[in-house]
A and B are shown apart, each in its own frame.
Chain A
């Protein structure tokens, strides 16, 4: 198996830039005729020329999405269990230097929050914490997972980078899905964006999905925070990372998230904002390159954008979202959110909206094949 670093080394930023600038329309159309795409094809679909061919790319992306996912969209909701964080990510609302209410839920409080989400109808949940390894330790997370497991068919985590042993412990506790945003795949920019704290280590984070795969995680999600690096750099690197993972760990479902940077607490200038046309181009290029990969779109995006991305490749959306800690269960406090969400629809509103688009909202799409008893009995 080729190492990820060797693969990235074949695609230096100048080469990415060159294809992005200079791929021809003819080359784009030729890619659309192909059945299996390679990384060069993916980059060609991200090129300037491809931006002028969005409709034919959309036709292909739509047809592939329909073929492999049908008219069905999976739903999940995030549950923030702690916003205490030792990092100082320059773009993040939970930056340790920002003054905001810091809350760390006890296992019992997390249980109450989870129960409230279950009672509304959620069956797939994504647990999030800040990066505070002593307070929000892997064993704390495992305790929360074990406590809330009876409520959910699927439990995912989106937390700081862990060791393979810690991931294995969480898998054992009942986690089946792990999401890790690399934020940017430019190591220099990454180091500047994450000046202090455990997250400063670029490679440790980059290799986290692989450690999770080795630990037995069933599905993984990767993503770059769009707006940090130039468009073609991080979009291409994200697809390449997912492609490499799917070839290296064929038994693991590899998904992609597509977060665009949002306004938040603190000050951060977005130098490479991705506009809507480029954003849609990216989603469609991902679908053509990785036809069977789930693509997740969060409430960073508007209802309008999310609804329009469903036919083009997005297969998983969040609903009933809060990026704050606490506030759903009866007695817990509420913090400020990590970022501003722009789609405030509840679970039932989201189900209706997906139905109105001619799609089915899928609430439950997992059954733990390693469990000996089932909630569906």
Chain B
């Protein structure tokens, strides 16, 4: 069954996006890409080498680059980093990260909206990282975001789908794809997000910090596929404990 995710006019077969940070060696990246099946990879512009040495050398041609604005504290700074990324040959997709709290690394919704509006008007395909708040999400969509990327838990925390209820509301209410980003700790979290109807997941720390990152990349690929299939299949109802009981204490009088 054809089930592509179309973003910025590009048709993607894989719904697992991966990162480039925190690996023991950049040389692991090609194998991580191969095992994860990912077609989109995010890279912090701050890590991109001055003479192209470093991480970019390890990303195979054909991967869709998703540069991010890590380090930006305001919309203005995010916009500048997006321009630098484009000038550095990273394409016109941009993941906006505006973070001005280094203690918890939570995204600033207001500044993110401002940057989204500017960059979307300039023609970027904008993927904003955000706290799962319905109003912020709607503002991002109005500002031209192609997707919204709510956090599942504080970034790097590996704590899983802590914001499940709020992400569920975004999935229900928004017409753009929801890509769950940050905090997914294990494949089961990604699977659950996909079963809920998320269109994709972005995973970095949980893969990079695993004892065997390559195997974990494969595990996430399988989990995302399983969750997506489950969503498409339409789950059978979950029966509560009392429902096996034939007696009907409240409606029995109708007999």
> Interface of A with B (CB < 8 Å)?
66-72, 123, 153, 246-247, 250-254, 292, 355, 358-360, 362-367, 369-377
Pairwise interchain contact B209-A369, C-beta atoms closer than 8 A: no
Pairwise interchain contact B73-A254, C-beta atoms closer than 8 A: no
Residue B91 is within 8 A (CB to CB) of chain A in the complex: no
Of the residues B21, B24, B47, B80, contact of A364 by C-beta under 8 Å: B47
Residue B251 is within 8 A (CB to CB) of chain A in the complex: no
Q: Which residues of A contact B72 (CB under 8 A)?
A: 369
- Beyond A252-B102, A254-B102, whether A360 also contacts B80 by CB under 8 A is no
- Nearest 3 Cβ contacts at the A-B interface: A70-B22, A369-B77, A71-B24
19 contacts between A and B (CB under 8 A): A71-B22, A71-B208, A71-B209, A153-B46, A246-B103, A251-B100, A355-B25, A360-B23, A360-B24, A363-B53, A364-B47, A364-B49, A365-B46, A367-B48, A369-B80, A371-B84, A373-B84, A376-B49, A377-B84
In the assembled complex, the CB of A73 is this many whole angstroms from the nearest CB of chain B, namely 10
A249 to B, closest residue via Cβ: B102
Q: Within the assembled complex, what's the spacing in Å between the Cα atoms of A71 and B81?
A: 25
Question: What 0/1 pattern do residues 80 to 103 of B give for CB contact below 8 A with A?
Answer: 110010011000000000001111
Pairwise interchain contact B48-A71, C-beta atoms closer than 8 A: no
Pairwise interchain contact B209-A67, C-beta atoms closer than 8 A: yes
Pairwise interchain contact B50-A123, C-beta atoms closer than 8 A: yes
In the assembled complex, the CB of A58 is this many whole angstroms from the nearest CB of chain B, namely 17
A68 to B, closest residue via Cβ: B156
Of the residues A153, A369, A373, contact of B69 by C-beta under 8 Å: A369
If A70-B209, A292-B102 are given as contacts, then 11 extra A-B residue pairs at C-beta distance below 8 Å, sorted by A number, are A66-B209, A67-B205, A68-B156, A123-B49, A250-B103, A251-B100, A355-B25, A363-B53, A364-B50, A367-B48, A367-B84
Give the residue among B48, B73, B100, B102 with the most A Cβ atoms within 10 A. B102
In the assembled complex, the CB of B194 is this many whole angstroms from the nearest CB of chain A, namely 23
Q: Within the assembled complex, what's the spacing in Å between the Cα atoms of A18 and B79?
A: 52
Main secondary structure, interface of A, reads: loop
Of the residues A66, A70, A251, A363, contact of B21 by C-beta under 8 Å: A70
Residue B125 is within 8 A (CB to CB) of chain A in the complex: no
Pairwise interchain contact B73-A251, C-beta atoms closer than 8 A: yes
Question: What 0/1 pattern do residues 176 to 200 of B give for CB contact below 8 A with A?
Answer: 0000000000000000000000000
Within 8 A of A (CB), among B43-61: 45-50, 52-54
Of the residues B22, B49, B103, contact of A363 by C-beta under 8 Å: B49
Of the residues A69, A366, A372, contact of B46 by C-beta under 8 Å: A366
- Beyond A67-B205, A71-B208, whether A367 also contacts B26 by CB under 8 A is no
Residue B162 is within 8 A (CB to CB) of chain A in the complex: no
Pairwise interchain contact B22-A69, C-beta atoms closer than 8 A: yes
In the assembled complex, the CB of A289 is this many whole angstroms from the nearest CB of chain B, namely 12
In the assembled complex, the CB of A5 is this many whole angstroms from the nearest CB of chain B, namely 22
Residue B65 is within 8 A (CB to CB) of chain A in the complex: no
Number of B residues near A (Cβ < 8 Å) is: 37
In the assembled complex, the CB of B35 is this many whole angstroms from the nearest CB of chain A, namely 18
Contacts across chains A and B counted by CB atoms under 8 Å:
98
Pairwise interchain contact A72-B77, C-beta atoms closer than 8 A: no
Q: Within the assembled complex, what's the spacing in Å between the Cα atoms of A247 and B25?
A: 33
Residue B232 is within 8 A (CB to CB) of chain A in the complex: no
Q: Which residues of A contact B23 (CB under 8 A)?
A: 70-72, 360
Q: Which residues of B contact A123 (CB under 8 A)?
A: 49-50
In the assembled complex, the CB of A237 is this many whole angstroms from the nearest CB of chain B, namely 20
- Beyond A369-B80, A376-B52, A376-B88, whether A360 also contacts B102 by CB under 8 A is no
In the assembled complex, the CB of A92 is this many whole angstroms from the nearest CB of chain B, namely 31
Q: Within the assembled complex, what's the spacing in Å between the Cα atoms of A309 and B103?
A: 23
Within 8 A of A (CB), among B154-170: 156-158
In the assembled complex, the CB of A117 is this many whole angstroms from the nearest CB of chain B, namely 13
Q: Within the assembled complex, what's the spacing in Å between the Cα atoms of A37 and B69?
A: 30
In the assembled complex, the CB of B100 is this many whole angstroms from the nearest CB of chain A, namely 4
Q: Within the assembled complex, what's the spacing in Å between the Cα atoms of A141 and B53?
A: 29
Pairwise interchain contact A372-B22, C-beta atoms closer than 8 A: no
Pairwise interchain contact B81-A359, C-beta atoms closer than 8 A: no
Pairwise interchain contact A369-B81, C-beta atoms closer than 8 A: yes
Give the residue among A250, A253, A369, A374 with the most B Cβ atoms within 10 A. A369
Residue B201 is within 8 A (CB to CB) of chain A in the complex: no
Of the residues B50, B156, B158, contact of A153 by C-beta under 8 Å: B50
Q: Within the assembled complex, what's the spacing in Å between the Cα atoms of A374 and B101?
A: 25
Q: Within the assembled complex, what's the spacing in Å between the Cα atoms of A66 and B24?
A: 10
Q: Which residues of A contact B88 (CB under 8 A)?
A: 374, 376-377
Q: Within the assembled complex, what's the spacing in Å between the Cα atoms of A68 and B81?
A: 23
Within 8 A of A (CB), among B6-50: 21-26, 45-50
Q: Within the assembled complex, what's the spacing in Å between the Cα atoms of A376 and B84?
A: 8
Q: Which residues of B contact A250 (CB under 8 A)?
A: 100-103
Of the residues B21, B25, B71, B208, contact of A366 by C-beta under 8 Å: B71
- Beyond A70-B205, A251-B73, A360-B23, whether A367 also contacts B45 by CB under 8 A is yes
